[in-house]
Copies of this chain bind each other. A is one copy, B any other.
Amino acid sequence: MSTYCKFETALDILVGKWKPVILLRLFANGTMRFSELQRAIPDITKKMLTQQLRELEYHDIVHREIYQQIPPKVEYSITEYGQRMTPLLQAMNDWGEGHIEHLNELYGEDPTTESPERS
């Protein structure tokens, strides 16, 4: 294990097409049912929603509460441990906001200006 840097670890946990949105919704709304999340994030599929939630659950960021009943009911929320990354998320959010402005200063606000393509 490399000794010089653990910030890739933080990255790994946040990376995933839908993790940011999911986390933001849960941080904002508190507890949410599976279907509520689906409605809040219209373009996500059940498969992706499940998968990303499971990964967050594995990392103890998200808690999954199952109500044994029919029809099923499952609620998701940020764990107590998960709350601890609020400052980090806030820091990233602030930096991101500042960076958007910075890019605008550099390249102008013309929306046709694209960032460089990969490959």
Q: Which residues of A contact B (CB under 8 A)?
A: 4-11, 13-15, 20-21, 24, 28, 51, 54-55, 58-60, 81, 84-85, 87-89, 91-93, 95-100, 102-103, 106, 115-116, 118-119
Contact = CB atoms under 8 A, between A and B. Distances in A.
A60 B93 contact: no
Contact of A96 (B7, B97, B100): B7
Contact of A15 (B6, B11, B102): B11
7 contacts: A10-B95, A10-B96, A11-B14, A11-B92, A58-B115, A60-B103, A91-B91
This chain: how many copies in the complex?
2
Given A10-B93, A11-B92, 15 more contacts: A5-B24, A7-B96, A8-B20, A9-B97, A9-B100, A10-B99, A11-B20, A54-B116, A55-B116, A58-B116, A59-B99, A60-B103, A60-B106, A84-B95, A88-B95
